[in-house]
Structure 1
Amino acid sequence: METLESAIKAEAVRLGFAACGMARADAAPKTAARLAAWLAEGCHGDMLWMEGRAEQRGTPKGLWPEVRSVIMLGMSYAPAADPLRLEGEGDIGRISAYAQGQDYHDIVKKLLKQLARWLVERAGGELKVFVDTAPVMEKPLAEAAGIGWQGKHSNLVSQSEGSWLFLGAIYTTLDLVPDTSGRDRCGSCSACQQACPTDAFPAPYRVDARRCISYLTIEHKGPIPVEFRAALGNRIYGCDDCLAVCPWNKFARAASANLAFAPRAELVAPALADLLSLDDAAFRQIFAGSPIKRIGRDRMVRNAALAAGNSGDPALLERLVILIDDPDPAVRDAALWAAARLAPERFSYDVDAVVISG
């Protein structure tokens, strides 16, 4: 006889989810304390929204007291090509695999709502759906629901999908039979820790966002600290290094990834020269429908300028010189730093007093 839980999983698969599991609303009791300790250490950097709603984030009942069960779902975005293949290609920018296709917030939430409607029609109850933007700790809940475990890089790892899962959550007032919690299978492997270009892991299973390239290129506003700029290489949006080296990715099935996440040609290997020339209108046009759009033109051009400084390509100098007079101070700062790297005989950079010489 089919159970409600098995029916939910079958419907999730029909809709395109690669993973589905259930957990009790109180199934991750250590989350709140771990979050509080992480915030107290300042590891969240500029992400003040994480501390602003920490009580709601720490437990599902903190956000919605009536919740009794959590349905966690994962949708694959496993890349067909090696995300590290463009390392060292100085004249192009590297964009994280998850951001090369359509915005996952829109895709996953639409399908979550379809599953939610189906569930209400089938079993009743009240529910809420979440994809990344609400105060929900998706990764520990996903581990509690048995669809994977939090690896040493702090992201979820799945035995079948590797590190390439977008997570969504359905909170419900239904009492669902929980799945067995995921078991840590990292063992003695430290590949993700060793791969990090900026030493963002103070210890396994802990990440200091202030040192993380994904945080620095996406969340951080203003100038990126000088100590991390060379390590950015040609990364202009996010970083896949710690995910890409995970041995469990050998089981990830690129063919099962949602087609909406297939890379757009213009985002696979964008030319730095083109990115350095972006104005607001061009930025909005190129990145429409992409999660990249939320960082805005200034942060993208800032990132591209730093990548240009790491490129060793003097052909980019002319565009950098123009950006030294950009209205945005972080862009100006990045452009001058990059110009000084490419043409030290003409430009100098002082982190405390930015000057131009020669």
Structure 2
Amino acid sequence: MRALHTKPEKLLKAFQEKAAALGFDGVRVAAADSIPQAGARLKEFLDKGRHGTMGWMAETAERRAAPSSLWPDVRSVIMLAMNYGPDDAPEHHPLAHLDDPGSGGISVYARHRDYHDIIKGRLKELASLLVSRGGGDVKVFVDTAPVMEKPLGEAAGLGWQGKHTNLVSRELGSWFFLGAIFTTLELPPSGAERDHCGSCRACLDACPTDAFPAPYQLDARRCISYLTIEHPGPIPAEFREAIGNRIYGCDDCLAVCPWNKFAETAREAKLIARKDLDLPRLLDLLQLDDAAFRKFFSGSPIKRIGRNRFLRNVLIAAGNSGDTALLDEVRGHLADPDETVRSTAVWAFGKLASEAQFQAEKAKVFPGENNEQVRCEWLAVTS
């Protein structure tokens, strides 16, 4: 065990003050061995195939099961929270897009700069303070390594994993990012938070695709956040209408949580929503080529899914909009170079076009289509 250069209480006080100055809204400590059940729960999740196409979860399961599996020398884990809550303006409400089918719904966490870029540098600054005043070694993580952030956040006392499996805080509601600092120092644990969900099931009932087999269980294969962000290729037809106009992620289960009545607007300027990402117009988004997509979403987490996957999502929203003014833009994507975009465009065109329009376009396009998935989509659609 590494000896502390400074008394634990004094070290943690200095650390908390610095964290607050850097924009963090919560700091708690968990022992490295504080989540003994996490590995078994992860295994059950993986054994049931609920991770979908996220093969990296299975590949890293052993290291993910416990902090010491990832880094044997770790003794304590400092968990930090940074609030990204939306403000009270109607256009900033997490579900405002549902009343405006001509717009696209973007998850609150992605309406501003990529949180990885914001948080990681500040964690490194805090880690330097920890080493200089306390000694030992450190590692910092922001959702980019096999770390069980939510169970660790609960064990540290930042919140509890609600029935939707996300972390909920009595102070921050549902809107906060997590960062972790692993250290070889033995710091006094803050104590775990208990579950405050009670009999409430608002999050479970709000899910458009029934992605919760039971309270505290998630089947990612049915989750709109997974389908629009992590899932490659065409989105299964059974979920397309339920997706509505959600084009990147889904906040429904978070937004209805009663604990959000205590949430506050983000105080970090870089986490204030961009105005052009509150209710972006589908017509504009359908016109993005790869260069325009990269430019428009520069610095945004949306950029990482790429133009083709994003356009797939926008086309589903267009098909669900009922807005025939989008028909020409959707028609243009019937010849898109990417087969997933083409196949989704077929579905969207079938939703918006008249029978005569659909059959006329099919007669022009279908005979020359050489991708089996796209051909199947043409045959499956009935306008």
Change (3 A) 1:134 1:303: same
Structure 1, unpaired ranges of 5+: none
Contact 1:88 1:234 in 2 (8 A): no
2:77 is paired with a residue whose SS is strand
**Corresponding residue for residue 339 of structure 1:** 349
In 1: Cα distance, 2:12 partner to 2:29 partner: 8
2:315 to 305, 322, 329: 305
In 2: Cα distance, 1:232 partner to 1:200 partner: 12
Task: Quote the sequence identity (%).
Answer: 59
2:124 to 98, 113, 137: 113
2:41 to 34, 41, 45: 34
In 1: Cα distance, 2:358 partner to 2:101 partner: 20
Matched AA of 2:378: V
- Which piece of structure 1 moves more, 345-354 or 4-13? 345-354
Change (3 A) 1:352 1:209: farther
**Corresponding residue for residue 262 of structure 1:** 272
Contact 2:342 2:374 in 1 (8 A): no
In 1: Cα distance, 2:272 partner to 2:121 partner: 17
> Greater Rg, structure 1 or structure 2?
2
**Corresponding residue for residue 274 of structure 1:** 284
1:171 is paired with a residue whose SS is strand
Structure 1 runs of 4+ with >3 Å offset: 348-352
**Corresponding residue for residue 354 of structure 1:** 377
Return the offset for 1:259: 1.4
**Corresponding residue for residue 367 of structure 2:** none
- Which piece of structure 1 moves more, 11-20 or 55-64? 11-20
In 2: Cα distance, 1:6 partner to 1:209 partner: 39
2:63 aligned with 1:56, yes or no? yes
Matched AA of 1:103: D
2:76 to 60, 64, 69: 69
2:358 is paired with a residue whose SS is coil
Structure 2, unpaired ranges of 5+: 1-6, 363-372
In 2: Cα distance, 1:194 partner to 1:177 partner: 39
In 2: Cα distance, 1:298 partner to 1:354 partner: 17
**Corresponding residue for residue 206 of structure 1:** 217
In 1: Cα distance, 2:53 partner to 2:354 partner: 32
Return the offset for 1:11: 2.0
2:250 aligned with 1:239, yes or no? yes
In 2: Cα distance, 1:119 partner to 1:79 partner: 31
Matched AA of 2:27: C
In 2: Cα distance, 1:174 partner to 1:138 partner: 19
Matched AA of 1:340: G
- Which piece of structure 1 moves more, 267-276 or 94-103? 267-276
Contact 1:109 1:129 in 2 (8 A): yes
Return the offset for 1:242: 0.3
1:86 is paired with a residue whose SS is helix
Return the TM-score normalized by structure 1. 0.97
Would you tell me which structure has more helix in proportion to its own residues?
2
Matched AA of 2:40: A
Change (3 A) 1:352 1:88: farther
- Which piece of structure 1 moves more, 284-293 or 83-92? 83-92
2:23 aligned with 1:12, yes or no? no
Contact 2:339 2:374 in 1 (8 A): no
Return the offset for 1:88: 3.0
Contact 1:22 1:72 in 2 (8 A): yes
**Corresponding residue for residue 369 of structure 2:** none
In 1: Cα distance, 2:231 partner to 2:267 partner: 29
Matched AA of 2:86: P
Contact 1:69 1:176 in 2 (8 A): yes
Q: Deviations for 1:91-146, whole angstroms, at most 9, x for unmatched residues? A: 11110000000000010111111111111111111000000010001000000001
Return the TM-score normalized by structure 2. 0.90
**Corresponding residue for residue 304 of structure 2:** 294
What root-mean-square deviation, in Å, do the aligned CA atoms of Structure 1 and Structure 2 show? 1.7
1:128 is paired with a residue whose SS is strand
In 2: Cα distance, 1:75 partner to 1:280 partner: 32
In 2: Cα distance, 1:46 partner to 1:120 partner: 39
In 2: Cα distance, 1:355 partner to 1:171 partner: 52
